[in-house]
Amino acid sequence: MKFKDSPVIELPVRNSVLSIEQDNGSMHVGTSVWPCSLVLVKFLERWSSSSSSSTPNPYTHLFNFSGKRAIELGTGCGPAGMGLFLLGLENILLTDIAAVMPALKRNLKRNKPVLGKMLKTSQLYWNNVNQIKNLNPPFDFVIAADVVYIEETVGSLVNAMESLVSDNGVVLLGYQLRSPEAHQLFWELCERVFVIEKVPHEDLHEEYAFEEADVYVFRKKLLAVTTTGECLSQS
């Protein structure tokens, strides 16, 4: 796994290399690069380019990026969002709290030659329903990596994911257990609203995967109305 404590992290994606500058001394967690974002990008890279391989690709459905809208929550320095942009998710909006915006924008500028343009950003606090509404949901993809670590923010995070993703869309999550309390509440709430698919470890990128990191794909549980008018939730 190529996660390092050095001030600059290099993330190769296809034929490009993202160079992400961290500020590990800052008091904001978002000014560091967190490893699940790298695991998420490299997992997607692995399967986005496997058409030439003889292995059947169980993830082709995830790569229908054309014309799709995406949003990242808790983008931090931008590794996941920039990586996914390079994989073809071109209409992506990167969001975080105000204090992290300077680090994100600095990294977007730093990588502009590789990305070819400045990616879109917006402030978004997960508990701010007006901000969520103003972003004009739904989005086809909601991306999040290493965002579950404070129990108090878990409820608003899951609400934000649910409000932002379209009925047919997916949430792509890079996850590592950071706090047992946040972990328990997060999965309890997610199970109520999402159908959860965990990517098998052997499908992750072998150089970037590590035991504690997982990738999940969430889809909304949709209500089906029976002929008697009863609402059934998809399990």
Chain contacts with ligand SAM (rule: CB under 6 A): 28-30, 33-34, 36-37, 74-77, 79-80, 96-97, 100, 124-126, 145-147, 153
Q: How far is the CB of 83 from ligand SAM (least distance, A)?
A: 10
Nearer to ligand SAM, 145 or 170 (CB): 145
In the complex, the smallest distance separating the C-beta of residue 92 from ligand SAM, rounded to whole angstroms, is 13
Q: Minimum CB separation from ligand SAM for residue 114, in Å?
A: 18
Please state the closest distance from residue 75 (CB atom) to ligand SAM, in A: 6
Separation of alpha carbons 234 and 221, rounded Å: 5
Nearest distance in Å: CB 211, ligand SAM:
18
Nearer residue to ligand SAM within complex by CB, 151 or 221: 151
57 or 151: whose CB is closer to ligand SAM?
151
Cβ-based nearer residue to ligand SAM, 50 or 131: 131
* C-alpha to C-alpha distance for 143 and 14, rounded to whole angstroms: 19
If the CB atoms of residues 93 and 124 are measured against ligand SAM, the closer one turns out to be 124
Nearer to ligand SAM, 79 or 169 (CB): 79
- Which position has the token pair 């459905």? 61
Unique residue bearing structure tokens 């790298």 = 38
Nearest approach, Cβ of residue 143 and ligand SAM (Å): 9
Contact 161, 181 (CB under 8 A): no
